[in-house]
Amino acid sequence: MSRKLPTAYLDNNATTMMPKAVQDAMIAWVNRGNPSASYASAVQCKKMMQDFRDYIAACIGAPLSDYDCVFTSGATESNCTIIQSIIERCRCANPGRGAKFHVVASHIEHKSIILMLKDLMARIPEMDVTFVSPSPSGHINAADVRRALRADTQMVICMHANNETGAIMNIAEIGRAVKEFNQQIFFHCDIVQSFGKVHINLMRANVDGAAISFHKLHGPPGVGAMIMRRAFANTTCPLLYGTQSSGRRGGTENVPGIGASFKATQLAISSIGATVAHELELKKWLIEELRSRAPVAYFDDYARGGQRYELQIIIMGSASILDSTQYLPNTILLSVAKHVGKNHACNTLIKQKLEDQRIIVSVGSACSTESSEPSHVLSAMGASTLITDGAIRVSMCAYTSREDVKRFLDCFLREAREQYEAARKRGI
Ligand code: PLP
**pTM of this structure:** 0.95
The pLDDT tens digits for 282-308 are 999 999 999 999 999 999 999 999 889
Residues 6+ apart with CB under 8 A from 406: 289
Q: Cα of 334 to ligand 1 centre, how many Å? A: 21
Q: Which position has the higher pLDDT, 183 or 239?
A: 183
Task: Report whether pLDDT(50) > 90.
Answer: yes
Under a CB-based contact definition with an 8 Å cutoff, are residues 116 and 90 in contact?
A: no
**Cα 25 off chain centre by:** 25
Q: Is 54 a residue whose pLDDT tops 80? A: yes
Centre of ligand 1 from the C-alpha of residue 112, in Å? 8
**Ligand 1, atom 5: closest residue by C-alpha:** 163
Choice from 16, 200, 213 to test ligand 1 binding pocket (greatest atom count within 8 A of CB): 213
pLDDT confidence of 1, banded at 50, 70, 90?
very low
- At residue 366, the pLDDT reads 55
Q: Is the pLDDT of residue 371 over 80?
A: no
Task: Please give the distance, rounded to the nearest whole angstrom, from the Cα atom of residue 270 to the centre of ligand 1.
Answer: 23
Query: What average pLDDT does range 400-420 have in this prediction?
Result: 95
Report pLDDT for 365. Answer: 57
The mean pLDDT of 366-381, rounded to a whole number, is 76
Q: At CB < 8 A and 24+ separation, what contacts does 372-375 make?
A: 375/164
* Residue of the CA atom closest to atom 15 of ligand 1: 74
Percent of the chain with pLDDT over 90: 83
- Cα(292) to ligand 1 centroid in Å equals 35
Closest by Cα among 393, 13, 10, 22 to 192: 13
Identify the pLDDT of residue 5: 75
Non-local CB neighbours of 21 within 8 Å, separated by 6+ positions? 263, 267
**Cα distance between residue 268 and residue 19, in whole Å:** 11
Q: Taking residues 257-286, what's their average pLDDT? A: 98
pLDDT of residue 72: 97
Q: If you measure from the C-alpha of residue 312 to the centroid of ligand 1, how many angstroms do you get, rounded to a whole number?
A: 31
Separation of CA 78 and ligand 1 centre (Å): 10
In the predicted structure, residue 141 carries a pLDDT above the cut 70: yes
Supply the residue whose CA is at minimum distance from atom 8 of ligand 1: 14
Entry field: residues in the chain: 428
CA-closest residue to ligand 1 atom 7: 14
The Å distance, Cα 213 to ligand 1 centre, comes to 7
CA–CA separation, 326 and 168 (whole Å): 5
**In ligand 1, which atom is closest to the CA atom of 76?**
16
**Binding pocket residue ranges, ligand 1, CB within 6 Å:** 74-76, 110, 112, 159, 163, 190, 192-193, 213, 224
Dist. CA 115–CA 102, nearest whole Å: 17
Q: Which atom of ligand 1 is least distant from the CA of 224?
A: 15
CA–centroid distance, residue 244 to ligand 1 (Å): 24
- Over residues 93-104, the mean pLDDT reads 80
- Percent of the chain with pLDDT strictly greater than 70: 96
> Is pLDDT of 43 > 50?
yes
Q: Is the pLDDT of residue 19 over 70?
A: yes
Atom of ligand 1 nearest to the CA of 79: 10
pLDDT (mean) for 360-386: 81
Distance 192 CA to ligand 1 centre (A): 6
Q: Which of 82, 216, 218 to mutate to test the pocket of ligand 1 (most atoms within 8 A of CB)?
A: 216
Instruction: Name the residue with the closest Cα to ligand 1, atom 9.
Output: 75
Q: Ligand 1 mean position to 76 CA, how many Å?
A: 6
pLDDT of residue 199: 92
Which ligand 1 atom sits nearest the alpha carbon of residue 213?
Answer: 15
For residue 232, the CA-to-ligand 1 centroid distance in Å is: 23
Q: Is the pLDDT of residue 97 over 70?
A: no
Q: What is the mean pLDDT of the chain?
A: 93
**Residue 385 confidence (pLDDT) above 60:** yes
DSSP assignments along 365-403, one per residue = S-SS-TTPPPPHHHHHTT--HHHHTTEEEEE--TT--HH
Going from the Cα of 98 to the center of ligand 1, the distance in angstroms, rounded, reads 33
* E strand segments, 117-222: 127-132, 153-157, 186-190, 209-213
Backbone phi, then psi, for 371, in 5-degree steps?
-75, -15
Which of 83, 110, 162, 254, when mutated, tests ligand 1's pocket best, judged by the most ligand atoms within 8 Å of its CB? 110
Residue 222 CA: nearest ligand 1 atom is: 15
Write the pLDDT tens digit of every residue in 301-333: 999 998 898 899 999 999 999 999 999 999 999
